[in-house]
Structure 1
Amino acid sequence: MNEKNDDITFSNLGLKESIIQILSKLDISTPSLIQQKTIPEVLQNKNVVFESETGTGKTFAYLLPLIQNLENCKSNEDKIIILAPTYELASQIKLTASQVTSLKASLFIGGTPIKRQIEVLKDKPQIIIGNPSRILELIHLKKLKTSNVRALVLDEADRLVSVEIADETKKLISTIPCDAQFIACTATLNQNTKHTLKGLFSNLSEIILPKEDILSRKITHYALFAESRDKISTLKSFILAENPEKVLVFTSRADQVENIAQKLQYKKVDCMALHAKTDKKERKAAIDRFRNGKCRILITSDLASRGLDIPGITHIVQMDLPSNEDFFVHRSGRTARAGKSGINVVIGDEYEMRKYAALEKKFGLKVYPKMLYKGKLVNPSDIQDFSEE
């Protein structure tokens, strides 16, 4: 069965009443398909790797059963470790965990003073969340014991076993007890990632859901032509024309994030910037302002295309197309979450429009060409109608 059964409840899946009541307060009553498939497997302490599109509830799919198993442990020394490739995703996981359990969850990310994190460990948190390098550092310093780790999660596993950080991830895994439970999840599980994971862990149960075609069914795709030198002014005109409720703007070049934000701000367009070199406090402030609607435009590099789960993003604007096609999927997937619809706009030059056409064919999308004309976003065929008015 590959279709969601709306008659299945969280209780049917084996979750206890206290967790179900918390979910009800969060207005979550029916498990998503990936949750229906994954929760019973994790509750049975199976090693699981699963793939599901963005916005389908992957975090709760592993977090709810792991928390239940951890709460049932007799020892408060037992813990789980959740690895994430970015600060944003790790922070999101911690926030999600704090919503559903009183167990202490703590964040351990590079760039934050390690002495402060060592102090946090003295409170014996049972849910450890962070990036591989910092957690591995704490293990090597003998400040974080792994002998009582019950489960290890790789969230966005494809990134965690990518060339850039694979060594650190593998070294950390080598410190975890052999009988610990292993879980890996991602929205884009390719054969290389799958092969690597099977080499690291045995007896993996695979849960690979059929694509729900969120990219084509829930997201409307626009193509807006602009030469490179005109892209920022085109972005400004698009924002003025569409007046989007909440828009996330992506650029592949981290050094362009501030440039775009400053030029928009100069034109009196309120926006915030977020990139790899942004200070942790500034990152949090930017995301918080964007989340609560105090600022409706966030400019970012691809660091935020993974795991940035902010409700109500109505528009995605891509100022270029990433070299990695998976990043296009993750960028676009920041909108149309939790059953809603959204708009994805690519502002590109001639080369990027050809590349976009190739993605249109590969992913089975329908891309609508658009133009800015007299302060409005229109179809190219509409311009003749405007001129005859």
Structure 2
Amino acid sequence: MSFDSLGLSADILRAVAEQGYREPTPIQRQAIPVVLSGRDLLASAQTGTGKTAGFTLPLLQKLSTQAASGRGRRPVRALILTPTRELAAQIGENVRDYSKYLELRSLVVFGGVSINPQMMKLRGGVDILVATPGRLLDLEHQNAVDLSQIEVLVLDEADRMLDMGFIHDIRRVLAKLPAKRQNLLFSATFSDDIKTLAEKLLHNPEQVEVARRNTASEQVSQLVHFVDKKRKRELLSQLIGEGNWQQVLVFTRTKHGANHLAEQLNKDGITAAAIHGNKSQGARTRALADFKTGAIRVLVATDIAARGLDIEELPHVVNYELPNVAEDYVHRIGRTGRAAATGAALSLVCVDEHKLLRDIERLLKREIPRMAVPGYEPDPSIKAEPIQNGRGQQQQPRGRGRGQGGAPSSARPQGDKRAPQPRRQGQPAQGDRPARPSRRPAAKKTGTA
């Protein structure tokens, strides 16, 4: 099947061809006709399989053939909600690429940057708005955006939004949308929480699932190396150097750990930068751009980047520390082996992380192959210690209680602190979580989103 057979316009097909795409992926083949038909959709696919084009292409088709009436200010007709800045920027780039021959305007809004330019662009009229929940509500509170004429709502990476505690913000957004609209919910997994959200949001939806729940791509080779915690950085530097790895995405559990590892790698002569929620948007953008161009060899990231990074033919992902939540392992290694490419994922596992590894292998329903580098055998006399989170506290027991935001408390990475925390008026938000603005006149900058 080719894109020509999916009912897309010549202008969209021309833009798709210029991006080098010839045949739609399975999720695109199944999702595009459903979206064009006007039905609600609940879709799940492995990360890196083309979910974004699965909703952006038919969305552009619908909006371009059903133009808004009038010559005045354009109403926002399509809203795409995403959990992180990086993912919002990636989707916005795709929308611009695919709509380059259409008379449609799009805008990406997220926190960490001045809100005023975003308000100015909204005044000029926007057809498609890509937003993180916090910044969208900031703009709505200041009457900078009108959501009353939304025709299509897309929740992308909805499971990550629930994990990050955005459920209350999502509910606030939904309350401001017209009752009659098309709803598209895209997720890497069909968790129980996602199914609950879908039951409330979607009306008689078509369901598309092109991969088993929480499965890793078969195009990614996975390996585990057991090594003492204090020797991980030394082993990583040796593997990068001896293997001549030129582009490596490394995951840590905490922001402090990401900063420290990047500093140590630079001291080893390996160019590296860290990317996480406490970095300014400018620093995050520069680090990602340098990584894509090869100016730096290693990008050290927390799980905030596990969904939003789209790097063509990324060859190596390293779990310097295993995630506290097994599902995040799948999302991390999904940064490589995207589309038709292959990739390699290596996990450096110390004695503290044996239980986390068992959880991951139970999720994958198989044992990950082991490897060993001579000289880095773990010391059997070292005993396991409780895993520390970003504030130097022990990891909480992984119970089934429910935390803020409606997501299981065990489902949030302890180190990245993305769940909303009680805070005083004006206190900065943590990670990618926005502070709720007051009704007073806006300052030039608001919290991150």
When normalised by structure 2's length, the TM-score is: 0.78
The answer on 1:67 being equivalent to 2:60 is: yes
SS in 1 for 2:32: helix
- Give the secondary structure class of the aligned counterpart of 1:367: coil
Structure 2 counterparts to residues 203-218 of structure 1, below 5 A: 203-211=204-212, 215=216, 217-218=218-219
Residue 97 of structure 2 corresponds to residue 99 of structure 1: yes
Number of the residue aligned with 2:48 = 55
Where does residue 271 of structure 1 map in the other structure? 272
Please tell me whether the aligned partners of residues 2 and 24 of structure 2 are also in contact (alpha carbons under 8 angstroms). Answer: yes
Q: How many angstroms apart in 1 are the aligned matches of 2:338 and 2:163? A: 26
1:161 CA displacement: 3.2
- Cα distance between partner residues in 2 of 1:107 and 1:294: 26
Name the counterpart of 1:386.
none
- Distance in 2, matches of 1:365 and 1:21, equals 43
- Residue type of the partner of 2:321? D
Shift, 1:32, TM fit = 0.6
Partner of 1:234: 235
- Distance between the aligned counterparts of 1:16 and 1:266, measured in 2? 53
Take 2:215 and 2:310, find their aligned partners in 1: how far apart are those partners?
Answer: 16
Structure 2 partner of 1:46 = 39
In the TM superposition, 1:75-114 aligns within 5 A as: 75=68, 76-102=74-100, 103-114=104-115
Aligned-residue offset at 1:200: 2.6
CA distance in 1, matches of 2:155, 2:168: 14
Cα distance change, pair 129–78 in 1 and its aligned pair in 2 (3 A): closer
The corresponding residue for 1:318 is: 319
**Equivalent-residue separation in structure 2 for 1:255 and 1:167 (angstroms):** 28
* 1:82/1:129 contact within 8 Å kept: yes
Indicate conservation of the 8 Å contact 2:183/2:201, yes or no: no
Instruction: Confirm whether residue 299 of structure 1 aligns to residue 292 of structure 2.
Output: no
**Deviating more after overlay: 342-351 vs 215-224:** 215-224
Aligned to 1:34: 27
TM-score, structure 1 normalization: 0.90
The alpha carbon displacement at 1:366 in A equals 4.9
**Please, which moves more after superposition, 209-218 or 346-355?**
209-218
- Residues 215 and 365, structure 1, Cα contact 8 Å, conserved in 2: no
Distance 2:312 2:212 in 1: 22
SS of aligned partner of 2:196: helix
**Residue pair 2:46, 2:211 contacting (<8 A) in 1 also:** no
State the superposition RMSD in angstroms.
2.0
Percent identity at matched positions?
Answer: 28
Give, in whole Å, the separation in 1 of the partners of 2:160 and 2:337: 23
Instruction: Show structure 2 runs of 5+ residues with no match.
Output: 69-73, 378-449
What does 1:151-300 align with in structure 2 at a 5 Å threshold? 151-162=152-163, 164-211=165-212, 215=216, 217-300=218-301
2:164 and 2:279 mapped to 1: Cα distance?
24
Rate the CA distance shift 1:214–1:29 in 2: closer, same or farther, 3 A. Answer: farther
Match of 2:447 in 1: none
State the SS of the aligned residue for 2:151.
Answer: strand
Q: Which residue does the alignment assign to 1:19?
A: 12
Structure 1, residues 169-210: CA drift from partner, whole Å, max 9, x if none? 111011111111111101112122111221133222211223
* SS of aligned partner of 1:172: helix
Tell me, what secondary structure is at the counterpart of 1:215? coil
The answer (yes or no) to whether the contact 1:23–1:100 under 8 Å persists in 2 is yes
Gaps of 5+ in 1: 1-7, 379-389
Amino acid at match of 1:44: S
- Which deviations, in whole Å up to 9, do the C-alpha atoms of 1:274-293 show, x marking residues without a partner? 11111111111111111122
Q: Which residue of 2 aligns with 1:137?
A: 138
- Quote how far apart the aligned CAs of 1:334 are: 0.4
Cα distance between partner residues in 2 of 1:310 and 1:163: 23
Q: What is the alpha-carbon distance in structure 2 between the residues aligned to residue 13 and residue 130 of structure 1?
A: 27
C-alpha distance in 1 between matches for 2:365 and 2:242: 28
Q: Secondary structure of the residue that 1:158 maps to in structure 2?
A: helix
CA–CA separation in structure 2 for the residues paired with 1:212 and 1:154? 18
CA contact (8 A) 2:270 2:297 kept: no
Q: What is aligned with 1:340? A: 341
CA contact (8 A) 1:223 1:353 kept: no
TM-aligned CA deviation for residue 214 of structure 1: 6.9
1: CA distance, partners of 2:249 / 2:150: 37
Deviation digits for residues 55-80 of structure 1, max 9, x if unmatched? 11000000000011111123253521
Identify the residue that residue 126 of structure 1 maps to in structure 2: 127
Deviations 1:308-334 (A, max 9, x none): 111121111001111111110100100
**1:109 to 1:192, Cα distance in 2 relative to 1, 3 A:** same
- The structure with higher relative contact order (CA 8 Å, sep 6+) is 2
TM superposition shift of 1:353: 3.7
Query: In 2 relative to 1, CA 200–269 (structure 1 residues): closer, same or farther, beyond 3 Å?
Result: same
Alignment match, 1:382: none
Distance 1:98 1:346 in 2: 36
Report the 3-state secondary structure (helix = DSSP H, G, I; strand = E; otherwise coil) of the residue aligned with 1:31. coil
Q: Distance in 2 between matches of 1:36 and 1:74?
A: 25
| Partner Cα distance (1:364, 1:142) in 2 | 50
Distance 1:359 1:211 in 2: 15
Give the Cα–Cα distance (whole angstroms) in 1 for the partners of residues 215 and 18 of structure 2. Answer: 27
What is the rounded CA distance, in whole Å, between the counterparts of 2:199 and 2:162 in structure 1? 12
Whole-angstrom distance in 2 between the partners of 1:105 and 1:333: 28
Q: 1:11 is aligned with what amino acid?
A: D
Runs of 4+ in 1 over 6 A off after TM superposition: none
How many pairs align? Answer: 369
